[in-house]
Structure formats: structure tokens, C-alpha cells
């Protein structure tokens, strides 16, 4: 069974540009989550989808971040415009019940 996949693995952009991260959850998992780890800090929750609906987006930093999950399958996280403090590793996870399975992450560097 394929795990959670994320694309790209790395992205380097300049401040003010737009970046879109993609996550493909484990097949059949209704729950999809986005997390972020900024250097030296703990992994922090961003938002939670149940199928295509946003269940909890309390961790989204501001309105420069937009997450979508059209059709309840893969999800995208767009940052527009990117700022320096958005640099970090963005993890996606999926679950059917309590245990969340994580993807390898996308390392975003904003210069």
C-alpha cells in the first residue's frame, strides 16, 4: 500500500512569489492534515480536512495560506505571496481513524 506522498520535495522561491504544495493521502483515508515545522521549533498543526470539507483550520497562520481538497482526494496548500517566515518543512498526514501517517514533507525556502 502506498504511503502519503508530497510534491515537490524541495522548493526555493523568492519573497513575494507563489508556491503550491501537493499532498496525496493514503487511498481510502478520509482525514487529511497539514502541519509545518519551522527550524528549531515543534511540528505545528495547520488544518484538517474530512473528505473535501475543512474540519479545523485553526492553525493556518494568515490569509496568505489557502488549502483545498477538491473531490476529497489529494490536497494543495498554496502560499501567496510567500514571506521569509514561511520557510520550513510542510508535512501532510492522513488517517482513517486515530493514527495519522505522515508524508516525507516539502522543504520550502523563501529567499
Q: Give the footprint of another protein on residues 64-83 (CB under 8 A).
A: none
Span from 12-20, 68-76, 77-85, 87-95 in contact with another protein (CB under 8 A): 87-95
C-alpha cell at 95: 488517517
Measured between alpha carbons, how far is residue 81 from residues 53, 61, 65 in Å?
Answer: 24, 13, 9
CB of 9 to another protein, least distance (A): 8
Asked whether position 60 contacts another protein by CB under 8 A, the answer is no
Q: CB-wise, 5 or 20, nearer to another protein?
A: 5
Element at 30 (helix H, strand E): none
Give the residue among 70, 71, 88 at the shortest CA–CA distance from 79.
88
Span from 13-21, 38-46, 61-69, 78-86 in contact with another protein (CB under 8 A): 38-46
Amino acid at each position: 500500500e502506498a504511503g502519503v506522498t508530497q510534491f515537490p520535495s524541495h522548493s526555493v522561491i523568492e519573497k513575494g512569489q507563489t508556491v503550491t504544495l501537493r499532498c496525496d493521502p493514503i487511498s481510502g483515508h478520509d482525514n487529511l492534515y497539514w502541519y509545518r515545522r519551522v527550524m528549531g521549533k515543534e511540528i505545528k498543526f495547520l488544518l484538517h480536512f474530512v473528505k473535501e470539507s475543512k474540519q479545523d483550520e485553526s492553525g493556518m497562520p494568515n490569509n496568505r495560506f489557502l488549502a483545498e481538497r477538491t473531490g476529497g482526494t489529494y490536497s494543495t496548500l498554496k502560499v501567496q505571496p510567500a514571506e521569509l517566515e514561511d520557510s520550513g518543512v510542510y508535512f501532510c498526514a492522513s488517517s482513517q481513524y486515530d493514527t495519522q501517517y505522515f508524508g516525507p514533507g516539502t522543504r520550502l525556502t523563501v529567499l
